[in-house]
Amino acid sequence: MTPMTDSADIPRPRPSILDIEPYVPGESHVPGVAKVFKLASNESPLGPSPEAVEAMRRAVMGVTEYPDGTAQDLRAAIAERHGLNPDNIVCGNGSDELLTLLAQAYLSPGDEAIHTEHGFLVYPIAIRAAGGVPVVAREENLTASVDAILEKVSPRTKLVYLANPNNPTGTYLPIDELKRLRTELPPRVLLVIDAAYAEYVRRNDYEAGIELVSSSDNVVMTRTFSKAYGLAGMRIGWMYAPAHVVDIINRIRGPFNVSAVALAAGAAAMHDVAHLQKAVEHNERWRDWLARELSALGLEVTPSVANFLLVHFPDEEGKRAEDADAFLKSRGLILRRVGGYGFPNALRVSMGTEEANRLLVDSLREFLERS
């Protein structure tokens, strides 16, 4: 990236753009290590549905033509699966695009948007890119606090971003608390529920946001195919929203913002319920196993309902997260550093294959037992 200079003879961006810290993705390669397990980006170890793979192969033959700009088939598949009206669905190039479009549509320079202190790093980027001001609400026990969010609401507040479950903590707000947040927010404030990990949650008091959107004029839910559906590389997201929000986002999104191959993959994946269930069951089994094994090693693990764990390391010379990260890379294991989220001494680990999960535990045992 080329830094800005002090010269007045070049085009100048909006000042808030220069306040943005670029998003740094998880690493994918370790020099000199032949076999690498990437456990850094919350991707599915089972991969995509075979039906989605076949749909992509067929779709490639038609890439000389523009994709369906209305995403009709994909919206219909989503609507059928979740019992929704397809007219209230917008598809995007990953849910990140939709989160950004919402900021562009509803924030004017100087407007405020709230996110929690350990929320997804895309939120402040989207807010600042729209000229808005990010406002951080404290969390309680690494979990979003409705009271803390409401305390930050001001006359300039236009948006609230809430990841539920949250990344990188894996914690969540129950539906009663979401309803309380919606009820006590001013009607002029748009509540954006980012439910990227909803498919993994198996708790009776959890609801992804569909109920709230259906009964409200100021709630939006975003979802993704990047996690449980194993299609991160295809970049497919979707949004369920009131008709007036759908109308606004359709006015500003790109006319062909989702590729033909991605549209085909998403529709096929949505129909393959059996493959999704396998991914969820694999995750539940190994998340619980890994949490027990890591705790038995003496590491603190934040309880998670998603497909990752936040693992905290001792504050001891040679035993800290940065030391563990280097050691694990030497064993071919890539985890996610989360200092940018406010956890300088923790690593986030995505659920992997059985081989990767067992190797991780064995490697961390070796790391912690070193003198």
Range of the domain at 289: 18-47+274-369
CATH assignment at residue 73: 3.40.640.10
pLDDT score for 117: 97
E strand spans, the chain: 37-38, 89-92, 112-116, 133-137, 139-140, 143-144, 157-163, 190-194, 219-224, 237-240, 300-302, 308-312, 333-334, 336-338, 343-350
Same domain? 278 vs 239: no
> Does residue 5 fall inside a structural domain?
no
> Does residue 67 fall inside a structural domain?
yes
What's the mean per-residue pLDDT of the chain?
Answer: 95
- Report how far residue 371's alpha carbon sits from residue 360's, in angstroms, rounded to the nearest whole number: 19
Same domain? 102 vs 60: yes
CATH assignment at residue 279: 3.90.1150.10
Same domain? 246 vs 170: yes
> Does residue 13 fall inside a structural domain?
no
Same domain? 218 vs 360: no
pLDDT score for 6: 62
Same domain? 39 vs 71: no
Listed in sequence order, the residues at least 6 apart from 288 whose beta carbon sits closer than 8 Å to its beta carbon are: none
Counting beta carbons within 10 angstroms of the beta carbon of residue 161, is it exposed (0 to 12), middle (13 to 18) or buried (19 or more)?
buried
Sheet of 190-194, strands arranged across: 89-92, 237-240, 219-224, 190-194, 157-163, 112-116, 133-137
Helices 273-296, 260-271: axis angle to 10 degrees equals 80
Same domain? 266 vs 337: no
Nearest of 100, 154, 131 to residue 15 by alpha carbon: 131
How many independent structural domains does the chain possess?
2
> Does residue 3 fall inside a structural domain?
no
Counting beta carbons within 10 angstroms of the beta carbon of residue 40, is it exposed (0 to 12), middle (13 to 18) or buried (19 or more)?
buried
Q: Report mean pLDDT in 10-residue bins for the chain, 371 residues.
A: 64 82 72 84 97 98 96 98 98 98 97 97 96 97 98 98 98 98 98 98 97 97 98 98 98 97 98 98 98 98 98 96 97 96 97 98 95 48
> Does residue 308 fall inside a structural domain?
yes
Segment 220-246, tens digit of pLDDT: 999 999 999 999 999 999 999 999 999
Nearest of 243, 240, 262, 233 to residue 73 by alpha carbon: 262
> Does residue 285 fall inside a structural domain?
yes
First to last CA, the chain: 41
Counting beta carbons within 10 angstroms of the beta carbon of residue 204, is it exposed (0 to 12), middle (13 to 18) or buried (19 or more)?
exposed
pLDDT score for 32: 66
Same domain? 321 vs 199: no
Same domain? 76 vs 198: yes
Would you give the DSSP letter of residue 23? Answer: P
Segment 183-215, tens digit of pLDDT: 999 999 999 999 999 999 999 999 999 999 999
Domain boundary among 253, 271, 289: 271
Same domain? 116 vs 229: yes
Domain boundary among 271, 287, 304: 271
Same domain? 265 vs 330: no
pLDDT score for 326: 96
> Does residue 329 fall inside a structural domain?
yes
Would you give the DSSP letter of residue 340? Answer: G
Residues in the chain: 371
Domain boundary among 255, 271, 287: 271
Same domain? 114 vs 183: yes
**Spatial contact of 174 and 205, defined as CB atoms under 8 Å apart:** yes
Same domain? 107 vs 233: yes
